[in-house]
Amino acid sequence: MSERKNDGQPDPKLLELLVCPLTKSPLVYDRQKNELVSKAAKLAFPIRDGIPIMLPSEARELD
């Protein structure tokens, strides 16, 4: 089994599968802020150590 270096970036294949937990709409990956953005819910979900934290209580509200 080959080991993949975890550089804090999420797996691109995982990102294709994820949707907003509230609206079920697609998410946009913001590489600069390292978060997944739900435009429909106006929330940004953080990514920590390459793992998306999809809890609404952990999300940042967008303006």
5-63 pLDDT per residue, tens: 556 778 888 888 999 999 999 999 999 999 999 999 999 999 999 899 999 999 999 98
Q: What is the pLDDT of residue 11?
A: 85
Domains of the chain: 12-61 (2.20.25.10)
Q: What is the pLDDT of residue 9?
A: 78
Task: Sort residue 50 into left (φ over 0), alpha (ψ -120 to 50) or beta.
Answer: left
The answer to whether the pTM exceeds 0.85 is no
Q: What is the pLDDT of residue 7?
A: 67
> Do residues 35 and 54 touch, judged by C-beta distance below 8 A?
no
Q: What is the pLDDT of residue 6?
A: 54
Residue 3 above 70 pLDDT? no
